[in-house]
Amino acid sequence: MSEPAQETFFTLPRRAHQGRTFVYVLQCKGEDLLKVGFSHDPISRFYTLHPKFYTFFDLNESLLIETDRIKEARRLERLFIERWPEHRAPAPLTINPKAGGHTEWFRGVGDFITVVAERLTDRYGHRMYSPLNGWIRDRMLERTDLLFAWSDRMYQIIDWQLQNQHALMRDTSYANRLCEALDAIEAVGIDSEALVPESVYQWYLAHRLVP
């Protein structure tokens, strides 16, 4: 019984972004440290940076700027980066190095970043989403039609391993991904109980990563 190891609930189908590109500013929770970058699919990008992005970053203090083309997103990102070169900082050790997320971190600019973002969006006619929590919640709701079948596939693999494999032989990545997806949904205020099979929800109650 197998499933692509890289499949997650956070990944959009190819071309689903339709050319839109988002510049993101992610504020670390409890620390004056933030990450600037851009992505066609921000939620998937946040997940690659940290699988528990919904608790690692303060979504209420983070923001997105939506652009129509990647060229515009690159320009905005560069304007942010060039504004505070003396505030560049190393990435937290918990950030996934394979995601290429160890650049464009800044310390000590959290009090100014929103003001600058507002000025840039007004100047270039883009749309800003701040705080970020509501935007993520809306995007999660758009994906809930996929959640039922995806979560059931993950659970079937988990259950098969439980019934047929020694504990040391089981691939725990499936359980981790399922918990991370449901934790993220719950973290932005969506009740997952009605969105997944009953067997999945009962398993989640016993294994959830966020209380």
User: What would the pLDDT profile of 2-55 be if each residue is shown by its tens digit?
Assistant: 444 456 788 755 555 567 899 999 999 999 999 999 999 999 999 999 999 999
H-run or E-run covering 80: helix 70-83
Confidence of residue 211 (pLDDT cuts 50, 70, 90): low
User: How do residues 141-154 score in pLDDT, each as one tens digit?
Assistant: 988 888 999 999 99
Q: Does residue 19 or residue 181 have the better pLDDT? A: 181
Confidence of residue 103 (pLDDT cuts 50, 70, 90): confident
Q: Where are the beta strands (DSSP E) in the chain?
A: 21-27, 33-39, 63-67, 105-107, 127-129
pLDDT of residue 192 exceeding 80, the answer is yes
Query: Where is average pLDDT lowest: 40-49, 92-101, 128-137?
Result: 92-101
Provide the 10 A C-beta neighbour count for residue 162. Answer: 12
Mean pLDDT rounded to a whole number for the chain: 89
- Per-residue pLDDT, averaged over 110-125, amounts to 92
Instruction: Count the Cβ atoms, other than its own, within 10 Å of residue 87.
Output: 16
Q: Where are the domains of the chain?
A: 21-134, 143-207
Neighbours of 24 (CB within 10 A): 23
